[in-house]
């Protein structure tokens, strides 16, 4: 059933458009660096952007850094917010529940489709960035943040791994979006509310007096993927990030199930 949900999701025009826009962002970043004749000075601007002109594969990491704060959360908010509310809005939810699948299985199938979209979205950004960087800049062995050197192949593998970490970082937001989607029949409202949660978390994370709250905020560890470009890899923040996402998933997936399993479906 989840395969059918995933196929339906990826065939939608708006989803193809979302993935297309996500792919265009890193291409635009690489072209901008090329036109400008180089990235920002070392230590300024988005992380990894200053390395792009010296080694094009860093465009993948720079693209992840640029898209994580806004573009990727917005894409996830659109998909997760539409998961249940979109069916209710179209009047197809009741017909889906007529099938002998049960509400729990339907919700799990939609959740699996959203999970795969999150991982795919991060991968699309990284791959588009790497391809744009390879086309526009010289490439070679990758210098890690620790100062050591990785082969080109090992560096690209780390970049693809970083994209999966980014995708996994969005799963907590996806769970919140699915929960909100079970509360309303208006998908636009669910999308906006989910995106608002990400924005609010980012704003709170930027307020120094709330430092005690920061480690529990959804967005706090989103940039931890950069630690994959160290030698040896620093797993502490990455594992904190993934562990926090598991907590959000457990809480909001349970809340979504509790709501959806007792919801009166009128459309």
Predicted confidence band of residue 12 (pLDDT cuts 50, 70, 90): confident
> If residue 170 lies in a helix (H) or strand (E), which one and from where to where?
none
> If residue 142 lies in a helix (H) or strand (E), which one and from where to where?
strand 142-143
Does position 267 have pLDDT exceeding 60, yes or no?
A: no
Q: Would you state the pLDDT for residue 266?
A: 52
Tell me the pLDDT tens digit for each residue of 141-162: 999 988 899 999 999 999 999 9
Across 3-24, b (16+ Cβ under 10 Å) vs e yields eebbeebeeeeebeebbeebbe
Tell me the pLDDT tens digit for each residue of 102-126: 778 888 888 999 999 999 999 999 9
By mean pLDDT, which of 46-60, 86-100, 146-160, 175-189 is the weakest?
86-100
Q: What angle do CA 22, 25, 28 make, to 5 degrees?
A: 150
Which pair of structure tokens corresponds to residue 63? 């693209």
Does position 101 have pLDDT exceeding 70, yes or no?
A: no
Q: Is the alpha carbon torsion for 139, 31, 59, 134 positive or negative?
A: negative
Does position 24 have pLDDT exceeding 70, yes or no?
A: yes
Q: Quick check: 80 and 251 in contact, CB under 8 A?
A: no
Q: Is the alpha carbon torsion for 101, 105, 107, 113 positive or negative?
A: negative
Q: What angle do CA 9, 13, 17 make, to 5 degrees?
A: 105
Q: Which of 33-37, 39-43, 59-63, 182-186 has the highest mean pLDDT?
A: 59-63
> Is 0.85 surpassed by the pTM of this model?
yes
């Amino acid at each position: 059933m989840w395969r059918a949900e995933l196929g339906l999701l990826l065939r939608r025009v708006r989803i193809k458009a979302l993935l297309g826009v996500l792919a265009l962002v890193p291409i635009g970043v690489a072209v901008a660096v090329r036109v400008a004749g180089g990235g920002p000075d070392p230590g300024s601007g988005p992380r990894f952007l200053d390395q792009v002109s010296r080694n094009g594969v860093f465009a993948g990491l720079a693209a992840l850094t640029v898209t994580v704060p806004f573009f990727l959360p917005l894409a996830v908010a659109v998909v997760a917010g539409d998961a249940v509310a979109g069916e209710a809005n179209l009047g197809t939810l009741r017909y889906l529940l007529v099938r002998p699948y049960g509400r729990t299985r339907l919700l799990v199938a939609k959740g699996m489709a959203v999970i795969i979209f999150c991982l795919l979205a991060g991968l699309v950004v990284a791959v588009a960035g790497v391809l744009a960087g390879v086309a526009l800049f010289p490439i070679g062995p990758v210098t890690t943040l620790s100062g050591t050197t990785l082969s080109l192949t090992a560096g690209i593998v780390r970049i693809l791994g970083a994209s999966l970490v980014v995708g996994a970082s969005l799963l907590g937001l996806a769970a919140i979006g699915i929960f909100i989607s079970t509360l309303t029949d208006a998908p636009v409202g669910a999308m906006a509310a989910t995106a608002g949660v990400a924005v609010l978390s980012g704003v709170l994370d930027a307020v120094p007096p709330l430092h005690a709250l920061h480690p529990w905020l959804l967005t706090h560890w989103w940039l931890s993927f950069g630690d994959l470009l160290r030698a040896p890899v620093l797993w502490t923040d990455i594992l904190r990030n993934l562990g926090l996402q598991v907590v959000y998933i457990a809480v909001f997936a349970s809340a979504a199930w509790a709501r959806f399993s007792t919801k009166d479906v009128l459309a």
